[in-house]
Structure 1
């Protein structure tokens, strides 16, 4: 008796690059949470949908109010992806669900929370009038970012809209965070470590060689990044 064997279904996979923010609480926690509330009021929705790493390196097992820290963050809509720097055997955190931090991440420098501005009708544009140095990270979740200088290797620029770089792009540029597939990346010289739009990314090895070190725009077509020369 013979039978037929069908080929296994193809599993479709694609890579995505996400930014995780790190929060490092300080004692006294009641004051720190009050300061966090003030920041959230200045930029409502800043933490919405963003994964957060909770860094407990400044905490002790006996820090007052520590048992209430994780629930307090969850009440504020902050999604904790991982916890590091503490000890899950501390009695104060015995009731926490302790997710393990993702491996392989690296620090990208301090992040400044932008202030809300209710008067403009269009998303605000952040203009950086100098080059972004290695280790620096510019994040602007509400609109475009314009860099009048270059973006050095090891630096990163992240925008909710498009990224415009008047100099060379040697680091990382991430546009369209939060689901803006129409965002683009523009640079006078493409030599990037990574570019990404709406979660779809390309590393240096995957970029169009014809655009290397030349004025280029990057846009998303379907689920693929396209590289087009600029005049």
Structure 2
């Protein structure tokens, strides 16, 4: 009998605390109070790059987040020596500039990484898209970070669509939709009938409690406007 190793993708939320930390923590508490099921045992990655905390501060931040019942699986943006092995950065996570990687070589800055000579051109990749010709059932997660996702059918409650680009649903959206997950603030979400649990574009989100009841059952589009997630009737 041979041993088989299979790969599988999971969706994790990324929390990026900001200063002042106490105010950010209070906002998190407010979300957890009014939307207790939002994280629903979802894996959470804590990105501390914006805070630049000390080792002691890192421990306090981790404790504060875990004490709120969040399922923390990794911590990014600090030295790996400052966190326990169970919270080590996931494979493929870039280390903060100035820290050292396991080979002992210091990482280069962003300007060096992005520099190219006049006879070289940056590689351009065509925009990819995924067409799903069947309904997305409850409990299913469809993850496509390369580009747009189009579903010819409905997306059931308890399911989710995750796309690096825009999301087009030619049926009823009852589950969760995450668009622009690779930092694409111009991504949009379209659906023929709106009854969603959660909408997210480039990290900004609204839950069912935030939706205008008048939008239920309508054909809508969601997009960002100056860091505000707008949902409006679309014909």
Return the TM-score normalized by structure 2. 0.51
The answer to whether the aligner puts 1:134 opposite 2:138 as a matched pair is yes
Whether 2:170 is the aligned partner of 1:155: answer no
From 205, 209, 216, give the equivalent of 2:213: 209
| Matched position secondary structure for 2:128 | coil
- Once residues 219 and 148 of structure 1 are traced to their aligned partners in structure 2, the CA distance between those partners, rounded to angstroms, is 21
User: CA separation in 1, counterparts of 2:165 and 2:182?
Assistant: 9
Distance in 1 separating the partners of 2:130 and 2:124? 13
Gap regions ≥5 residues in structure 1: 1-9, 22-51, 55-69, 80-118
Q: Which of 210, 221, 225 is equivalent to 1:221? A: 225
Structure with bigger RCO (C-alpha 8 Å, 6+ apart): 1
Partner of 1:34: none
1:64-118 Cα distance to aligned partner (Å, 9 max, x none): xxxxxx79x9694258xxxxxxxxxxxxxxxxxxxxxxxxxxxxxxxxxxxxxxx
Q: Deviations over 1:21-63 (max 9, x none)?
A: 9xxxxxxxxxxxxxxxxxxxxxxxxxxxxxx949xxxxxxxxx
Deviation at 1:121, TM superposition (A): 4.1
State the distance in 1 between where 2:128 and 2:134 align.
19
Q: Distance in 1 between matches of 2:179 and 2:191?
A: 13
SS in 2 for 1:126: strand
Work out whether 1:77 is the aligned partner of 2:92. yes
Cα-Cα RMSD: 3.5
Structure whose CA Rg is larger: 1
One of 191, 197, 206 as aligned partner of 1:193: 197
**Residues 1:181 and 2:223 are matched in the alignment:** no
C-alpha separation between the residues in 2 aligned to 1:198 and 1:20?
Answer: 18
Q: 1:25-174 residue pairs with structure 2 within 5 A? A: 53=73, 76-78=91-93, 121-174=125-178
* Matched length: 139
Provide the C-alpha distance between the structure 1 equivalents of 2:89 and 2:165, rounded to a whole number of angstroms: 27
